[in-house]
Structures are given as structure tokens and as C-alpha cells.
Amino acid sequence: MNKTVAFYTLGCKLNFSETSSIGRIFQDAGYQLVSFNEGADVYVINTCSVTDNADKKCRKVVREALKYAPEAYITIVGCYAQLKPQEIAGIPGVDMVLGAAEKFNIIEHINDLTKQKKAIVHNAPIEDTNVFVPAFSFGDRTRTFLKVQDGCDYSCTFCTIPLARGASRSGSIESLVKQAEDIAASGVKEIVLTGVNIGDFGIRGGKREDRFLDLVRALDLVEGIERFRISSIEPNLLSDEIIDFVASSKRFVPHFHMPLQSGSNKILGLMRRRYKRELYAERVKRIKSLMPDCCIGVDVIVGFPGETREDFLDTYAFLADLNISYLHVFTYSERDNTIAAQMEGAVPGSARSDRSKMLHILSEKKRRAFYECQLGNTVDVLFESDVKDGYMHGFSKNYVKVRALYDPLLVNEIKAVRLMHISDQGDVDIEEVEPFVVH
């Protein structure tokens, strides 16, 4: 009988794509993938260093795994495993910790699955992590996250990702087009491009070989994929050429997610971001002038060291005036080995919490206003396989979330619908433009 393996992923879409690829490595080695609660022989926990309480979350997932399978072999990988390997090795029940350079060689490191009295640690210096390893998520038939870039050469004062993932590097355009073609052959309709800093795509062997625009143009020609979505891109790297191309594209959808982090130029300077808010506003203006219905999402951090109430209100007013669609709000938390952790002017926790609440409320207002502007429009929706309270969901090209009564024939189908009204749950109820007939 085949050995079994189960996974748990914390963090970003990039982590999910890599977990899926590691899963395929196990399958190729003869393992059977099972659900987390089925009690596997091996558990692989892919960690994150960006979200709060990495240690606490990791410990909880380990405890849950051992509850289902007390003799399971527990391996920890991911950003937190690279940054704090000894800390993780001390978690009861952990058998192995693999750093960034080792995680894709996991099969070579796993022994006879004997529980360890003390966790084995394989963790090379991050400078040794200089090879791009391709990855894409698989299993959700509707959409796939395709990793196109890894690492980061930026030095934002709050961020540990360069320490956890290394320098910026990418796959070749040819290899990524081939992966997209393979994904298309599997029946997936949408690919989300993901990475650490995807606008910096094109560095191989420490030298720039390509540009992100070149990749986008090449992928736009891939037959069989209905939609490409750009997961997140720095405003200083989102060029006029990229915006113009997406506006005229056959397959790239009108949806951008641009991290802002602060609407105060003073705080942007302290963060060592590579733009000022004026450039951000210009990006939004150009996008909306070419694609009025485009969805624009924003990352913002509250409570950064030195952020006064006036600085925060400056950010709030800037965001309130921007023609954007939703916010991802992060409460600043100190990270070891970052410049920001040593900065003066720490913001009290209560103030961080209050500012976060204000921006979450603003985000809900922005999302509702965006949805209200879309009501009455006829849009193409890609339906997903989730079911909740008898409803299934889907997304339009510009990221309006709709709901419909569950119909198994609609899963992974694109249908034209009319957006009617916003439900109590915050998604949009729809009306059939034509009967949902799947041929």
C-alpha cells in the first residue's frame, strides 16, 4: 500500500503554487495525496513569514496533524522555515525543517519516516537559493496559480522576503508558455500569474534577459486559456505599456492589484518604497481612463513606525479619493532582521487596531460602490466548484463575485449573466441572459 502525504499551506498564492508542485513530487515518488484530516504518513506544512504569529500558527497546525496521526512524519518548509529553522525545530513533533534551497528536494531528504527525537534541519544560506524552480497549483479545475518569478531585489524596511526567498529570478518565457499550454490541456480556464515581485520578471543568472511585458504578450497567444490574471504588481513596475496592452488584450482581464502600503510620502520614504503617492494616483487614473470597469485592489500597512495620526489620516483621505475597488489591510508587526524593527516612533497596538478597523470599513464601502457601479451590466462569469448554503460562486473578468443556485454542470463554465443586486452576503445575485445549457 502506498505511503500517504497531506499538506497545509499558510500565506500567499505563491506558497499554494509551490505546495501543489511539491505534492506532484510526492506523487511521482509513489505517495498518495490525502486530505489533512485523513491521517497521513507524512505531513508537509508550508509556512509564511509575512502574516502575524508564524510560530503560533505553525505550532497549531503541527498539533492538529499529530491529533489525526500521532506517528506521522512532520516536515516544515517555506519562508518561516528559512528564517527561523531552529525555532521550528524546537516545536514538539516536528521531524524535519527544510530551507528555501532544499524544499523542492524533499524526497531526497526524507528517510524511512522514523519519528525524530530532535528535528533534522537542512537550511543553506539564502545566497545559495539562486535557481528558479517552476511551480503551479493544480487540483482546482477552475483556476491555476502559475509561478513566473521568485525572490526580490528590493530592500523595503519592513520586509523579510528577500531573506526568506533570495534574489529576484525567473523562468524563461518559453518554459512558462509551455507550462501554460500544459495547463490549458488539462481544462483549466484561468491562470493567475504569481511571484514575489512579478513586475521584475526576466532575471536569469543574475542578468536581465526579458521584461514582464514580453511575458504577457507571449502568454496572450496561448490557446485554450480564457483568462490570465495578474496577481500583484508594484506601481513603479506597472508601465504604461503593460496597462495599454491589458486594455487591448484578448485574454488578460481588467483587474490589477497594486500594493500602495501608505498614502503618506513621508512613510513611503521610511519604508524605502520606490515611488511616491503621486505616481500611484497616475497609475490608477490611466487604468480607469482605458478600462473604466477595471477592478483595482490595494495593499496598505497601518501602524508603521513613525506613522502619526496625521500621517494615517493623510493615507485615509488619499485612499478615499482614489477610484479603487477594495483594500487588503495589514497591521504592521515587527519582524526580526528588518530595519523597521529598529526604528523609533513605534505606534501603540491600540492605535494600530483602530486604524486597521477604519480602513477595513473603507474597503467595504469601496467594494460595495464598485459592485453598485456594475449592476445592470452583462458580464461573463467563470463558475467555481464551491458550494455554500445551496449556492455556488464565480467571478467576472473584473473580479465581481457572483452567486447562483448550485448546478454541477456550471462548474468551470463561463456564462453570460446580468448583475442584478448585491446580496446580504456581499456578493452579487444574477439573472441568466440565456438559459444555462452546457453542451
Q: pLDDT by residue (tens digit) across 302-341?
A: 999 999 999 999 999 999 999 999 999 999 999 989 999 9
User: Is the model's pLDDT at 439 over the cut of 70?
Assistant: no
Distance CA 127, CA 82 (A): 12
Strands 149-150 and 94-98: unpaired
Rounded to 5 degrees, φ, ψ at 424 are -65, -25
Grid coordinates in use for 158?
519592513
Among 207, 128, 210, 209, residue whose Cα is nearest residue 166: 128
The CA–CA distances, whole Å, from 179 to 4, 151, 172 equal: 27, 20, 11
Contact at 8 Å (CB) between 366 and 326? yes
Write down the pTM of the prediction.
0.92
Q: In whole angstroms, give the CA distance from residue 36 to residue 23.
A: 13
The C-alpha atoms of residue 263 and residue 253 are separated, in whole angstroms, by 26
d(CA 381, CA 404): 11
**CB 81, CB 97: distance < 8 Å:** yes
- CATH code at 258-373: 3.30.750.200
pLDDT at 116 exceeding the cut of 90: no
Q: What pLDDT score was predicted for residue 333?
A: 93
End-to-end Cα separation, the chain, in angstroms:
40
Same-fold call for 4-128 versus 258-373: no
Is 186 strand, coil or helix? coil
The C-alpha cell 500558527 sits at: 57
d(CA 191, CA 166): 25
On the 0-12 / 13-18 / 19+ scale of CB atoms within 10 A, 45 is: buried
Q: Where are the domains of the chain?
A: 4-128, 130-253, 258-373, 378-432
Is residue 239 over pLDDT 90?
yes
List 78's β-bridge partners, or say none.
47
- Could you tell me if 101 and 119 are in contact, meaning their C-beta atoms sit under 8 angstroms apart? no
User: Would you state the pLDDT for residue 381?
Assistant: 96
Return the minimum-mean-pLDDT range out of 139-153, 254-268, 295-309.
139-153
Residue predicted with more confidence, 203 or 113: 203
CATH of domain 4-128: 3.40.50.12160
Cell numbers standing for residue 240 = 504604461
Sign of the dihedral through C-alpha 10, 13, 15, 20? positive
Q: Is the dihedral of CA 173, 176, 178, 181 positive or negative?
A: negative
Domain 130-253 has CATH 3.30.750.210: yes
CATH class of 378-432: mainly beta
Using the predicted structure, report yes or no on whether residue 140 has a pLDDT greater than 70.
no
Side chain identity at residue 427, one-letter code = D
CA distance 295 to 291: 9
What are 274-309's pLDDT values in tens digits?
Answer: 999 999 999 999 999 999 999 999 999 999 999 999
User: What confidence tens digit (pLDDT) does each residue in 47-56 have?
Assistant: 988 766 777 8
Contact 388, 405 (CB under 8 A): no
Residue 275 DSSP label = S
CA nearest to 251, candidates 215, 232, 225, 287: 225
> What pLDDT band is residue 41 in, cutting at 50, 70 and 90?
very high
- Average pLDDT value over all residues in the chain: 93
Supply φ then ψ for residue 219, to 5 degrees.
-65, -30
Instruction: Give the relative orientation of helices 309-321 and 349-374 as an angle to the nearest 10 degrees.
Output: 10
Residues comprising the chain, all counted = 439
Q: Is the pLDDT of residue 219 over 60?
A: yes
Q: Which amino acid is at 63?
A: R
**Residues 390/384, Cβ–Cβ less than 8 Å:** no
Residue written as cell 463558475?
383
Q: pLDDT category, 110, cuts 50, 70, 90?
A: confident
